[in-house]
Amino acid sequence: MNRYIEILLLTLKYFSPVREVKNPVMFITEISTVVALFITIFPTAFNLPSTSTYLQFYTAVVILLFLTVFFSNLSWAISEGKSQAIAASLQKFKKETTAHLKKGEILVDVKSTDLIKDDIVVVNKNEAIPMDGEIIEGSGYVNESNITGESRPSLKVLGDSVTATTTLVTDHIIIKVTSNPGETFIDQMIKIVASARREKTPNEIALTTFLSGITLVFLIVAALIFSMGYFFLNPIDIMIIIVLLIALIPTTIGGLLPAIGVAAINKVSEFNIIAKSGRAVENAGDIDTIILDKTGTVTMGEREATKFYPNSGVDYTEFQRMCLLSSLQDQTKEGMSIVKLAKRENPNLPDTLEGYRFEPFSAETRYSGIFKGDEYVVKGALKTLKSKYSLQDTFIEALCKEISSRGGTALPVVSNGKFVGVIELNDMLKPGIRERLSSLKSMNIKTIMCTGDDEVTASYISAESGIDEYIANSTPMDKYEVVLKEKGKQRMVAMVGDGTNDAPALSRADVGLAMNNGTQSAKEAANMIDLDSDPTKLMDVIFIGKQILITRGALTTFSIANDISKYFVIIPAMFFFVPQLAFINILDLQNPILAITAALIFNTIVIPFLIPLALRGVRFKPSSLNSLLKRNLLIYGLGGVILPFIAIKIIYIALSAGGVVW
């Protein structure tokens, strides 16, 4: 019940002229309500009759005008009330905890609110993560259910970001704090969601300008009609002029437009995505190029070692040992899977590096491995290892090609200047990915897949999934260059990323979706963040963006179309004394005042009837622009013309049957 009271109070608060002036159509309606109220209270001051019949009509007009503004504000309040509720639920997760701050070799317990950026903090099993950070040592499973709603803990490894208020449920980790108090991810989410009273998007500004122009035109038309009444020596009641103005200006879309804008941000939040601005959601509706990673987006993203292939002359057990040692401190998911496979096949393999130094994988080197003096064992991309160590091995190359041809990933291993074998990693296409990509094609959206895999694997996955183009052996810089290239063709570009090296491309893309488990720099560069860290959400974002644009267009079409019907009701009623205009009274409404009242009632009640549609969105089915346009015109254009005729006639008959005799 409290929520309904809050929405009601918010609705009444929005009657403030300071706020209403931002919506010109409703501002004119509110001014008209005030003028109509003065006319009702002081009719003689306007040279109008003050009989009970006229006063009843005037009172009805004031009530209907008030309700028109009220229903518009109600739609706005419902949208923003939902945003405030989301923000309030997030606020509950903010809590002060004890943090183990590392100062040199000692740990000092401090309040989490005292931590600042770049502090080093130790988090133990079953402790809350005190501040947003990046793992610099260790790994473990983190319960993020308060952020994502997913009860299953997710594995966090070296380089992954962790979020304040989530809980480490296994092992222990050391993190480097990446935010100051009041700047955590939770804080940003609260600010983003709570600030539903955001700046208007470019399309919304353009539409508001268009609606303002139409409103100005009808203000002039209303003034001219008022003057024409004197020309025909039959002055028109100024209250009827007010009704004409409100019936003709696009009050339907004017009343719902603010709610649609706020609902856009709320709608993506239902998918566990935080949009930093309405512009980001709107951009999603105009996307015509989408850049996808292979791993985790097109494929399941759980690449695991499935088989070891030693080179000719290399003992299988020795190859297992080399694979294990090169991966013991490799905290990537692939590295952990190599250790797991080796230990499962041979439990007697060593558990220490035996004096070797581990060098982790990086986007620049594209390999990882162990080193001790002149000895080394490294694993990485075939092209990289061939170039770095000047190696040629036809058997290894053929084996890598054969693994790639069936969609696997080949990870060659080099030891002391020789290819010693290949590790096979396997991934699977995500269920339904082909159908989802096909939906994008139906909307003329080009798909480009970037993958660090070789040409053969990239070609195979691309063909299997229905990707338009692919870039094999790609680096983060390739993504950035693809974004620039596509934008150079005047195309709107969307991409997904999670690493620091993805940040430049995310910042340049029109829609940049960062993963919640990605780095802080990636989340700062993007204009959307997926709390579930599911890269395929980028496609959901595009569908939502399309739906928002279609909803706005459909309601605008309907609003303007139903004005046409009201012309054929109000104009004949106003000029019933001009026989030449009788032919446009196609509904045969004989009581002019009753006809005007029926039109105004329809004009008022259509807004609350459309509020659910504005908040939910028009049903969207991926198809071409021409198909969407035809559907829009047929349903909301033609329907917007026909429905008011039927509704107004029914209201007129009901008023007559009810004994209203104005």
Catalytic residues: 293
d(CA 238, CA 36): 9
Q: Which helix (H) or strand (E) holds 414?
A: strand 409-415
What sign has the CA pseudo-torsion 556, 557, 558, 561? positive
Q: Could you give the CA distance from residue 179 to residue 565 in angstroms, rounded to a whole number?
A: 57
Eight-class DSSP state of 637: I
Q: Which pairs with CB-CB distance under 8 Å and at least 24 residues apart come from 644-647? A: 644/562, 644/565, 644/566, 644/599, 644/602, 644/606, 645/565, 645/568, 645/586, 645/587, 647/602, 647/606
**C-alpha 336: how far from chain center:** 34
Helix (H) or strand (E) holding 140: strand 140-143
Asked whether 465 and 298 are in contact (CB, 8 A), the reply is: yes
Amino acid in position 592: P
Collapse the DSSP code of 624 into the 3-class scheme (helix H, G, I; strand E, B; otherwise coil) and give the result: coil
**603: exposed, middle or buried (Cβ count in 10 Å: 0-12, 13-18, 19+):** buried
Tokens of 4: 């309904």
Measured CA to CA, the distance from residue 97 to residue 66 in angstroms comes to: 50
- If we measure between CA atoms, which residue out of 394, 395, 426 comes closest to residue 410? 426
> ∠ CA(305), CA(307), CA(378), 5° rounding?
65
Radius of gyration of the chain (CA): 33
Contact 144, 173 (CB under 8 A): no
C-alpha span between 246 and 264 (Å, rounded): 27
Q: 410 in helix, strand or coil?
A: strand
